[in-house]
Amino acid sequence: MSYGYGQEQQQRQHKRRPSGLSLRLLIAVGIVLFSLVSYWAKTEENPITGEKQRVGLTEDQEIQLGLSAAPEMAAQHGGLYHDSEAQRYVDQVGGKLLNSLHQQLAKKSKSLGYPFEFHLLADPRTVNAFALPGGQIFITYALYNKLETEGQLAGVLGHEIGHVIHRHGAERIASQRLWSGLAGAAGVAGGDVNSARMAQMVAQFTMMSYGRQDELESDRWGVLLMTDAGYDPHAMLGVMDVLEKYAGGGGQPEMLSTHPQPKNRKAYIEAIIEELFPNGLPPGLRQ
Ligand SMILES: [Zn+2]
pLDDT score, position 205: 37
User: How many other C-beta atoms are found inside a 10 Å radius of the C-beta of residue 171?
Assistant: 23
pLDDT score, position 152: 98
Residue of 45, 59, 117, 160 with catalytic role: 160
- Assessment of whether the complete model's pTM goes beyond 0.85: no
Distance CA 137, CA 120 (A): 9
Distance CA 230, CA 281 (A): 10
> How long, in residues, is the chain?
287
Ligand 1 center–CA 286 separation, angstroms: 23
> For the chain, what is the largest distance between any 2 Cα atoms, rounded to a whole number of angstroms?
78
Ligand 1 center–CA 15 separation, angstroms: 52
pLDDT score, position 21: 74
Ligand 1 center–CA 190 separation, angstroms: 36
What are the 10-residue block averages of pLDDT along the chain, 287 residues in total? 46 56 75 66 74 78 81 86 97 98 89 93 91 91 97 98 90 67 56 51 48 90 97 96 79 73 85 96 96
With contact defined as beta carbons under 8 Å apart, do 244 and 168 qualify?
Answer: no
Ligand 1 center–CA 215 separation, angstroms: 5
Per-domain boundaries in the chain: 1-41, 52-168+211-276
Distance CA 128, CA 206 (A): 19
Distance CA 134, CA 65 (A): 7
Ligand 1 center–CA 280 separation, angstroms: 26
Strands 52-54 and 43-45: antiparallel
Spatial strand order of the sheet with 136-140 comes to 117-121, 136-140, 129-132
Ligand 1 center–CA 255 separation, angstroms: 4
Ligand 1 center–CA 210 separation, angstroms: 7
Q: Is 117 among the residues known to form the active site? A: no
